[in-house]
Chains A and B, each alone.
Chain A
Amino acid sequence: DTGVSQNPRHKITKRGQNVTFRCDPISEHNRLYWYRQTLGQGPEFLTYFQNEAQLEKSRLLSDRFSAERPKGSFSTLEIQRTEQGDSAMYLCASSLGRGQYTGELFFGEGSRLTVL
Chain B
Amino acid sequence: AQSVTQLGSHVSVSEGALVLLRCNYSSSVPPYLFWYVQYPNQGLQLLLKYTSAATLVKGINGFEAEFKKSETSFHLTKPSAHMSDAAEYFCSGGTSYGKLTFGQGTILTVHP
Contact = CB atoms under 8 A, between A and B. Distances in A.
Q: In this complex, which of A48, A91, A103 has the most chain B Cβ atoms within 10 angstroms of its Cβ?
A: A103
Contact of B98 (A95, A109, A110, A112): A95
Contacts of B41: 109, 112
B102 A42 contact: yes
A34 to B, nearest CB: 11
A31 B96 CA distance: 12
B100 A105 contact: yes
A43 interface: yes
Nearest to B9: A40
A42 B43 contact: no
Interface in B28-78: 31-32, 34, 36, 41-46, 49, 51
Interface in A63-112: 91, 93, 95, 98, 101, 103-105, 107-110, 112
A31 B104 contact: no
B44 A107 contact: yes
Contacts of A109: 41-43
Contacts of A93: 44, 98
A85 B94 CA distance: 27
Nearest to B105: A42
Interface in A10-43: 31, 33, 35, 40-43
Interface of A: 4, 31, 33, 35, 40-45, 48, 50, 55-56, 91, 93, 95, 98, 101, 103-105, 107-110, 112
In the A-B complex, the 4 residue pairs with the closest CB atoms: A42-B102, A107-B43, A107-B44, A103-B32
28 contacts: A35-B100, A40-B9, A41-B104, A42-B4, A42-B90, A42-B102, A42-B104, A43-B44, A43-B90, A43-B100, A45-B101, A48-B97, A56-B99, A91-B43, A91-B44, A93-B44, A98-B97, A101-B96, A103-B32, A103-B51, A103-B94, A104-B49, A105-B46, A105-B98, A107-B36, A107-B43, A109-B43, A112-B41
